[in-house]
Amino acid sequence: MKLAMLSLLLSGMMPWTLAAEPGAADVKAQMQASFQARGQAGMDRLDQDAIQAACSNPEGASAEVTMGLADASRAAVKYPADGVYLGDWRRGEQIAQRGTGLQYSDNPGEPNGGNCYACHQLAPTEIAYGTIGPSLTGYGKNRGSSEAMLKLAWSMVYDMKGYVPCSNMPRFGARQILTEDQLRDVMALLFDPDSPVNQ
Ligand code: HEC
């Protein structure tokens, strides 16, 4: 038996490559078995809403379904009741540069970070940033800050899935990762003429 296994390994043919392709239910069962709840990171993290499920469908997402779900995501955006979209860019910068929050080891009593820098270039002077998302350098300077532009940016940061249904960007408002005030602060980082983003 041992020899048989060894020869399989040596020939590079793992026994499990002989099995059928795993389906969505197998993947879910494997995830359930691999993770354990710890602190604020509960098993409910594995529950997908309709748009996430559509985007992880191994058969591929149907355009009609995902676009319908994206329309629903945009319709669910909550805009600030007082019409004030911009807060303090200095606080916004701290939020953008902080990646803590929501992990099992983080203090749930502390405000979450936005981790924007992990995917976006923000200030042109920055030397360390991720490139999963587009550079946001000059964001407000290049686009102006009309009400329509502010609403569009708010709604993208609130829930990018309204625009790119299978986006990897965290859904900061829809998933209550950031509070309304924190959203205002990161908006100011994007739009305030004094913000390092617009220099
Ligand atoms: C995990 C990576 C990731 C993180 C973290 C992230 N984003 Fe994004 N962001 C993206 C991607 C990718 C796009 C491009 C759209 C897409 O493909 O989803 C994007 C697009 C955007 C856009 C639209 C750009 C345009 O062309 O108008 C804005 C604004 C934005 N992000 C702001 C933010 C802010 C503010 C934060 C932090 C609070 C943030 N993002 C955090 C990945 C990320």
Nearest to 186 by CA among 72, 60, 97, 65: 97
**Domains annotated on the chain, with CATH:** 89-160+170-198 (1.10.760.10)
Give residue 73's identity as a one-letter amino acid code: S
For ligand 1, the distance from its centroid to the CA atom of residue 198, given in whole angstroms, is 17
Phi and psi angles of residue 150, each rounded to the nearest 5 degrees, phi first: -65, -40
Closest-lying ligand 1 atom to the alpha carbon of residue 178? 38
Give one DSSP letter per residue of 104-145, joined into a string: TTS-TTSPPP--GGGT---STT------SS---TTHHHHH--
Nearest to 190 by CA among 154, 152, 140: 140
Span between the terminal Cα atoms of the chain, in Å:
68
Give yes or no for a contact between 78 and 12, defined as CB atoms under 8 angstroms apart.
no
Give yes or no for a contact between 98 and 113, defined as CB atoms under 8 angstroms apart.
yes
User: What is the percent of the chain where pLDDT is above 70?
Assistant: 90
CA distance 151 to 158: 10
Lining residues, ligand 1, CB within 6 Å? 96, 114-116, 118-120, 132-134, 136, 153, 156-157, 160, 164, 167-170, 172, 186
Give yes or no for a contact between 171 and 177, defined as CB atoms under 8 angstroms apart.
yes
- Kindly report the protein residue whose alpha carbon is nearest to atom 19 of ligand 1: 133
From 119, 139, 186, give the residue whose CB has the most ligand 1 atoms within 8 Å, as the site to mutate.
119
With 70 as the cut, is the pLDDT of residue 139 above it? yes
pLDDT in tens, 79-115: 999 999 999 999 999 999 999 999 999 999 999 999 9
CA distance 61 to 51: 9
Classify residue 1 by its DSSP letter. -
With 80 as the cut, is the pLDDT of residue 17 above it? no
Model confidence band, residue 16 (pLDDT cutoffs 50, 70, 90):
low
